[in-house]
Amino acid sequence: GNSVTQMEGPVTLSEEAFLTINCTYTATGYPSLFWYVQYPGEGLQLLLKATKADDKGSNKGFEATYRKETTSFHLEKGSVQVSDSAVYFCALSEGDYKLSFGAGTTVTVRA
């Protein structure tokens, strides 16, 4: 079956630091890959996505590249801000609207 493994948190960073959250997946076919973000008190929001190998998703300064050879979709941001403090979820879908999620990584950015 499908599964997603992402690095455990919590992660604490200073403003302007570089952020990487690792995500690897197992899937039977060719999934679409997603990063969702949940800010305190809010629902999950789509941050970025990639639908095929070598695609790069980007949004709000975050990037992730769909690497089929390493079955990875690592999230990166070059310079984080306090407002990036949130829980980040890696997820995959194989087209039936069912999402398989990672455990989530809590990121705290300090001023």
Partner 1 sequence: GAVVSQHPSRVICKSGTSVKIECRSLDFQATTMFWYRQFPKKSLMLMATSNEGSKATYEQGVEKDKFLINHASLTLSTLTVTSAHPEDSSFYICSAPATGERGYTFGSGTRLTVV
Q: Which residues bind partner 1 (CB under 8 A)?
A: 3-4, 8, 34, 36, 38, 41-46, 49, 89, 93, 97-104
86 close to 104: Cβ distance less than 8 angstroms: no
**Is 17 or 27 the residue whose CB approaches partner 1 more closely?**
27
Cβ proximity to partner 1, 4 vs 21, nearer residue: 4
Whether the ω angle into residue 40 lies within 30 degrees of 0, i.e. cis, is no
Amino acid identity of 11? V
Q: Which of 81, 88, 84, 85 minimizes the C-alpha distance to 17?
A: 81
Residue entry with tokens 């087209």: 95
Residue 47 Cβ, how far from partner 1 at the closest point, in Å?
10
CA-based nearest residue to 94, from 5, 26, 6, 23: 26
State in angstroms the smallest separation of the CB of 101 from partner 1.
Answer: 4
Q: Residue 16 Cβ, how far from partner 1 at the closest point, in Å? A: 28
- Shorter beta-carbon distance to partner 1: residue 37 or 80: 37
